[in-house]
Structure 1
Amino acid sequence: MERLEDRDFFTDPAILNDPYEYFEAVRAHGPIYRPAGKDYLLVTGFAEALEIFRNSTDFSAAIALQGAACPLTFQPEGPDISAQLEAHRPEIIGHDLLVNMDDEQHANLRALVNRLFIPSRLKANEDYMDELSEEMIRKVVTDGGCELMQELATPFVTAVVADLLGVPREDREFFIQLHLNAPPPGSLNSSDNDYRTQAHPMIVMASYFEKYIQDRIDNPRDDIMSELAHATYPDGTKPTLKELVNLSTFMFGAGQDTSAKLIGNAIRYIVDEPGLQAKLREDPSLIPLMLEEVLRLEGSSKITARLTRKDTTVGGMEIPAGTRVGIALAALSRDPRRWDDPNSFILNRPRIKEHLSFGRGAHTCAGAPLARAEVRILMEHLFRYTSHIELDEAAHGTPGNRRLQFDPSFIVRGLSSLQIRLTPSPALVEA
């Protein structure tokens, strides 16, 4: 019989609903393991992953999106494949997206992003988040419940990032529907992952953002896209229109999946973790701590990837140049060498913000502050206007025997749907 750790994480649908058992079987072989018959490594160790994230000299992010299992289009040669990689980079899926960039190209675009997602801008956007979340929460509570992912989570986060970037209101419903019908990043259907086809949602969105950016060049206004349109790199040069379109499209698309899935994953714990709902109602200031623990236990991304550019050593293991490395985000924050009682939900866990669910180093998720703010605000309104939240047992079974469907993706950890029932609070009646 095939051992669990030797099954194919990237194609096995049975591992989708519980990747954690699989990664524990992998971890039993050490923090870095090469599955039998595979030509890539899997990293489940917290310390080892942190070392890789911080070492952007020896490790390239070029394959972050296509994944460690996808073969390279060239045969790596020698102890340093940097020149080879650059020669073949245009052949890599999503090579022109921020998540896959390295070195100066990444640093230039990241400098633009870092200037945009500053606390003062997010604070200004919180008024819109507050108004929108109140409106949406009051509606679904009045209705007695909803399908969380399609009726609340995805429309909310799409509208928030659209408002932040400056997407016209008349186009937002189109983008919500586009996102709802889009395949998840890392879809198990490999044809969904070709970002070069004209029908792919990222390409469709790019056609809109090209018009938006060109309009901001000609008619600047007070929004992020206007700042992008007139921004310069640290060396004073200006980004090309294509670079700005790719960046704004990626910022818009990437920020939705992770935040929407975090909302769904958080509701699962709120409903099924004994006593948690009552604690959060009694003291809403605990909501941020709850979200961090959910991110640790059930982050929205299961895995990312790096390509070794130079011969190097991690955790005592020699890793040759040209090695594809899968970094199992779903396993890092359950590493017993780093976390006490790692598989349990602990509301006020010490040093909780050290989890790696948003990455670390040069590619730390730029949208993490936005995700934390928008989900916190939505949860605050949810607790204000409900006296009880529960899952629909007809759809999802009973506590301890849940039936849940997750997106068919090797990257995304998130629910495809979640039917919830909501009991109004006196605050809703008064409102």
Structure 2
Amino acid sequence: MTTHEGSEPAVPSLLDPAVQSDPFDAYAMMQAQEGIYRMPETGFFVVTRYDDLRRVLTDPETFSNNVDRASLQGEENSAVLHDYLDAHGWPHIQTLQRTDAPVHSRYRKLVDRVFTMSRVRELTGHIEEVAHTLIDGFAARGECEFIADFAVLLPGIILAEQMGLDSGDVGTFRRWADAMLAPASTVMTADELKANADIELEAQHHLARLFEERRANPRDDLVSALVHAHRDTEEPLSMAELQSVMSQLIGGGFESTTTSLGHAMLQLVNHPDQMQALREDRSRVKNFVEEVIRFESPTQGLRRRATRDVELAGTLIPKDSVVIVRYGAANRDAAKFECPHQFDMARKNSGTHLAFGAGPHFCVGAPLARAEIATGVLAMLDRLDDIRLAAPLEKPIHEPNFLTLPLRKLPLTFTAKG
């Protein structure tokens, strides 16, 4: 049994922005080694093979979701952040995706009442309206910067409206969402963490006012549904719990969908034959969306914590170690997916990807994300012909991020349909 104490050949650092933008060679090196790779910079154990990942995801008793989301910052700076938020707003308490059974069951039951398939179906028509309104804004120009002009705005407007913001306040919403995700994604100094926390605190105090207003005067929106999700015999979510749940829904529902929309259009541009096939047969969109999510998983990895000494793939992982489940690597595992680095929207097993997780912590917002990606892509194809890159993408093409894979820009040219 290996403990991986300096015995492995050098692997490019996952903290390197260039590697974060194109991590797949690094993943292949990790997968080729025996056992589980351990990051020398952090001591995190990185799980990259499909079967190993499934084992971790489906064994929450051994691999707990109860992990400090700021663990990337180290213990000292993480404590600084928690103390600062506690003094000025609400600390990062563990709820929903960051808890285990039986505590997780309570949160999941409440949130499942909010994110129902019927709610997604009701929203789909509005998502389509928003998509076409956005296209109205740039169709006549014959060009757009797809990330800023569409991919950010479509999920941003939908979530901003659900949070009681005007659809024109997406810029504010994005600042808040980025601040909520930053401690888990980017290494920062204590001063940078506090400055970032000030932005998150803006969101917290807005949400606090909104939660109280919706408690007294509910509307048909996400915030009202969360505030009133409990039954008469159940304990309602506290303010701190509401803040924590909402930050997770914002992070998962905004960043991931924006990232996948960008990758979806990039893959269509890179594969015009598949773009044409999708134009000719819209029923292909479901599998297309799954292949996009498999190929460039929007969330490349998340954290778990070992609750005991455990052996995984011949590697001893000590109790309380941080374990990174690297979805982006597992979804390119050649042992599971034939020619994994080839984008193929007709791939028969695309839907077996692990990008939304597995087991009791499967992503609650997956149906909404799928609906937004499919609706957004089809709206673009319905309205625009001859879609192509306006200029080569500057490298690195992705924003530096330890956990996600957001495109910097995607400049497109096209011809608007008559």
Query: Are 1:359 and 2:351 an aligned pair?
Result: no
Tell me the residue number matched to 1:172.
169
After superposition, the Cα gap between the structure-2 partners of 1:40 and 1:246, relative to the gap in structure 1 and judged at 3 Å, is closer
Of 369-378 and 279-288, more deviation after overlay is shown by 279-288
SS of the residue corresponding to residue 356 of structure 2 reads: coil
Contact 1:45–1:335 (CA under 8 A) maintained in structure 2: yes
How far apart, CA to CA, are the structure 1 residues paired with 2:356 and 2:116?
17
Q: How does 1:207-286 map to 2 (within 5 A)?
A: 207-232=205-230, 236-286=234-284
Tell me the residue number matched to 1:392.
390
How far apart, CA to CA, are the structure 1 residues paired with 2:232 and 2:188?
38
1:52-75 per-residue CA deviation (whole Å, 9 max, x = no partner) reads 1011111112337335x65557xx
Residue type matched to 1:326 in 2? I
Alignment length, in residue pairs? Answer: 398
Q: Between the two proteins, what is the percent identity of the paired residues?
A: 24
Residue type matched to 2:46 in 1? L
1:412 to 404, 407, 411: 404
Structure 1 position 134, deviation (Å): 1.1
Structure 1 position 372, deviation (Å): 0.3
After superposition, the Cα gap between the structure-2 partners of 1:361 and 1:308, relative to the gap in structure 1 and judged at 3 Å, is same
Residue type matched to 1:6 in 2? V
Q: How does 1:260-339 map to 2 (within 5 A)?
A: 260-339=258-337
Residue type matched to 1:175 in 2? T
Structure 1 position 260, deviation (Å): 0.3
How far apart, CA to CA, are the structure 2 residues paired with 1:415 and 1:100?
27
The alignment's TM-score, normalised by the length of structure 1, stands at 0.84
How far apart, CA to CA, are the structure 1 residues paired with 2:247 and 2:294?
27
1:314-358 per-residue CA deviation (whole Å, 9 max, x = no partner) reads 345443312221221111011111111111112221222110111
After superposition, the Cα gap between the structure-2 partners of 1:170 and 1:421, relative to the gap in structure 1 and judged at 3 Å, is closer
How far apart, CA to CA, are the structure 2 residues paired with 1:363 and 1:150?
31
Query: Are 1:46 and 2:43 an aligned pair?
Result: no
SS of the residue corresponding to residue 113 of structure 2 reads: helix
SS of the residue corresponding to residue 103 of structure 1 reads: coil
SS of the residue corresponding to residue 6 of structure 1 reads: coil
Residue type matched to 2:349 in 1? R
Residue type matched to 1:301 in 2? T
Contact 1:206–1:246 (CA under 8 A) maintained in structure 2: no
2:13 to 5, 8, 14: 8
After superposition, the Cα gap between the structure-2 partners of 1:16 and 1:318, relative to the gap in structure 1 and judged at 3 Å, is closer
Residue type matched to 1:325 in 2? V
The CA RMSD measured in Å over matched residues stands at 2.9
- Tell me, which stretches of 5 or more residues in structure 1 are unaligned? 74-89, 397-401
Contact 1:59–1:309 (CA under 8 A) maintained in structure 2: yes
How far apart, CA to CA, are the structure 2 residues paired with 1:337 and 1:202?
41
SS of the residue corresponding to residue 422 of structure 1 reads: strand
Residue type matched to 1:414 in 2? P
Tell me the residue number matched to 2:83.
none
The alignment's TM-score, normalised by the length of structure 2, stands at 0.86
Tell me the residue number matched to 2:81.
none
Tell me the residue number matched to 1:423.
415
